Structure 1
Amino acid sequence: MNIQRLIRPTIKALKPYSSARDEFQGVPADMVFLDANENPFENGVNRYPDPHQNRLKSILSDIKGIPTQNMLLGNGSDEVLDLIFRMFCEPNKDNVIILPPTYGMYEVLANLNAIETIKVPLSESFQPKVDAILNETNVNSKLLFLCSPNNPTGNSFSTDDVERLLKQFQGIVVIDEAYIDFSSQQSWLNRLEEFPNLIVTQTLSKAYGMAGIRLGICYASTEIIEVLNTIKPPYNVNELTQQKAIENLNKKELAANQIADILKERDILITELKTISFVLKIYPSDANFFLIQVDDANKRYNQLINQGIVIRNRTTQPGCKDCLRITVGTASENKKLIRVLQDIQSK
């Protein structure tokens, strides 16, 4: 696939901003910096951060097995996704494909960038309808968003379906793997070199427990990453975020243990929920949350709110009538949820 034909002409012609740290890097510790109009008094954050996050990328490279030149870091996955829109989609001309029910920011970002959104709902089993997707595309279809494991349904998409879309969709396929660390399926990172039109996005907000620092990751071909680097803000990932990410990523056993605990608690929660009479269905999950169908989502949601428990009411989403999304909490939080549901059931 010719990726260059998909990139907006104005983006291809763009001359990137060159920051002070772009122009001068890799210097001795005693170098005097008088180039960036910074406050010279040292406090740990008085200097601009590394605009390319080299140390952090090196750690991620070791963890994920992907070269640093194949990754871009952003201020949360939302910034990464917005940059992808800006790179490929011409305002008021191009369109993107989304598969509801799915992550709501895809449509929000499309609207912000004046891009048409074509919606092709998932099947009843929450899988992509490949033929319908391909039939809806046209010459202006630049991006296809696949959230796998999917939010809010929790399931992973069929490998065969995703592979077919990667081969036949004539644009960029963005696979959002925010929840991949909880899944038994392999990440599509393992096949990044096979598909030049593949972009994989991940995050440190979920399995790594760093939602508060806002760090999203984009993995793609060097051809795509090089262009994204020209359009990202020069210092888009701040120093404190980089420091905290490096600190926590070095605690490899902690993340692995927490993932194992969450998966164990998910299974316990699902088992307990099967005893609640107004829980009509529990959907399979590859994430740290799961979707349930109840008799009356609005009623049950409000009952839980009144008892100090906040979950997500997804009843307005396509294919999710009377569905609630429950995030797996700590053992004590999950026990409280079950206890409250049992009290509601007994009344």
Structure 2
Amino acid sequence: MSVLALARPEVLTVQGYSSARHEAGKAEVMLNANESPWLPPGLQAESRGMPLNRYPDPQSEVLLERLAELYGVGSSQILVARGSDEAIDLLTRAFCRPGVDAVALSPPTFGMYAVCAEVQGAARIEVPLTGDFAVDVPMLCDRLPRSVKLVFICSPNNPTGGSVALVDIERIGYAMRGRALVIVDEAYIEFSSSPSVSGLIRHHENLGVLRTLSKAWALAGARLGCLLAGAEIITLLRKIMPPYPLPTPSLGAALAALTADGMALTRQRIALIVAERERMSVALLRLPSVIEVLPSHANFLCVRFADAPRTYLKLLAAGVIVRDVGRHPALSGFLRLSIGTREENSRLLEVLIRHEVSE
């Protein structure tokens, strides 16, 4: 059975928008897209050969080739979107019938899986993380109702920082074969020593992987993420996404980051973040106000404080903003601390130490 049998029947018959950019080919006179023939005011030169007065390539072949090399998949197995958020939304709209199908997730986890399900009118099946914040693999394999069409697994998980072993991902993929897509969100995988799930895609047609350039690649403002999956899934999602999803400046920024020099600099920065993550974990555990620091494979630490609300306000008053994740019942008392530069991290520690001394 083709994996597309899991998709909404009405989506399978959608023709999709015919892009004027695809029609253009190598034409020299561009009169098919109702664009302005001039560059925008104040811009005297084209940016990296990509003029802003023209619509961008919906799926840049150059970018696809670089991402394919980076992620170890074929270019036909990549959908580039406006952040992985858009890919989550597209998957939910393509595979979940409103009022009929469901999405499975393991809270506490990234909130957009639930948001996209709710907007689509899909039920939300929650399989909470275990007491030690691990994915409950047996429950995901054996206890999900047949209505589930998408299983989202965040690894490393946001906001707890833990990873899921490849053997467990593969086990869940086998259990959901012919029933649901298993989508592994690897937004933070660059900060982990664990291998990517992308190598399993060729063996599991119901497996997909979300990647992003927002974190390790320092392009959060560019809004570029992607889905890695079988070519059939990618083709289906391309039909229902907007005709020109990738802004020209974002494409230019991504191509610059994915040069040899850009990749070398990114690897250096990842190493710095990992080193700072370990330094901060040790330093935080020495503070009397810190009860627990969860093991993290990401670029943040999830930290339990004796009085998290008060600590949050003290940091905020000192000009340091962190994330209060205590709205999740399992994370009551926890704050999530992103790893910044050594100077930024040290400032956070100084504020915490000064707060404790003044008590």
8 Å CA contact 1:100, 1:318 repeated in 2: no
Cα distance in 2 for partners of 1:141, 1:335 equals 45
The SS at the match of 1:178 is: coil
The SS at the match of 2:232 is: helix
Whether 1:11 aligns to 2:11 is yes
Structure 1 counterpart of 2:347 = 336
Cα drift, residue 231 of structure 1: 1.0
Using the aligned pairs only, state the percent identity.
Answer: 38
Residue by residue over 1:237-275, the C-alpha shift from the partner in whole angstroms, topping out at 9 and shown as x without a partner, is 111111111011111111111101111111111121121
8 Å CA contact 2:166, 2:197 repeated in 1: no
Structure 1 counterpart of 2:45 = none
Structure 1 counterpart of 2:264 = 253
Whether 1:66 aligns to 2:63 is no
Residue by residue over 1:95-136, the C-alpha shift from the partner in whole angstroms, topping out at 9 and shown as x without a partner, is 010100000111111111111101110001111112223444
Bigger drift between 243-252 and 142-151 goes to 243-252
Whether 1:195 aligns to 2:204 is yes
Structure 1 counterpart of 2:230 = 221
Whether 1:284 aligns to 2:295 is yes
The match for 1:176 among 185, 200, 218 is: 185
The match for 2:139 among 132, 140, 149 is: 132
Cα distance in 1 for partners of 2:329, 2:164 equals 17
Q: Which segments of 5 or more consecutive residues in structure 2 lack a partner in the other structure?
A: 41-50
Whether 1:97 aligns to 2:104 is yes
The match for 1:47 among 46, 51, 54 is: 54
Name the amino acid aligned to 1:205: S
Name the amino acid aligned to 2:29: V
Name the amino acid aligned to 1:325: R
Structure 1 counterpart of 2:43 = none
The match for 1:262 among 268, 273, 291 is: 273
Name the amino acid aligned to 2:322: I
Cα distance in 2 for partners of 1:55, 1:281 equals 45
Distance 1:344 1:316, change over 3 A: same
Q: Supply the RMSD in Å over aligned alpha carbons.
A: 1.2
Name the amino acid aligned to 1:317: H
Q: Which segments of 5 or more consecutive residues in structure 1 lack a partner in the other structure?
A: none
TM-score of the pair, normalised by structure 2? 0.93
The match for 2:314 among 300, 303, 306 is: 303
Whether 1:82 aligns to 2:89 is yes
Name the amino acid aligned to 2:195: Q
8 Å CA contact 2:141, 2:171 repeated in 1: no
Cα drift, residue 2 of structure 1: 3.2
8 Å CA contact 2:156, 2:192 repeated in 1: yes
Residue by residue over 1:42-75, the C-alpha shift from the partner in whole angstroms, topping out at 9 and shown as x without a partner, is 4520011011211111111222221110000001
Cα drift, residue 159 of structure 1: 2.8
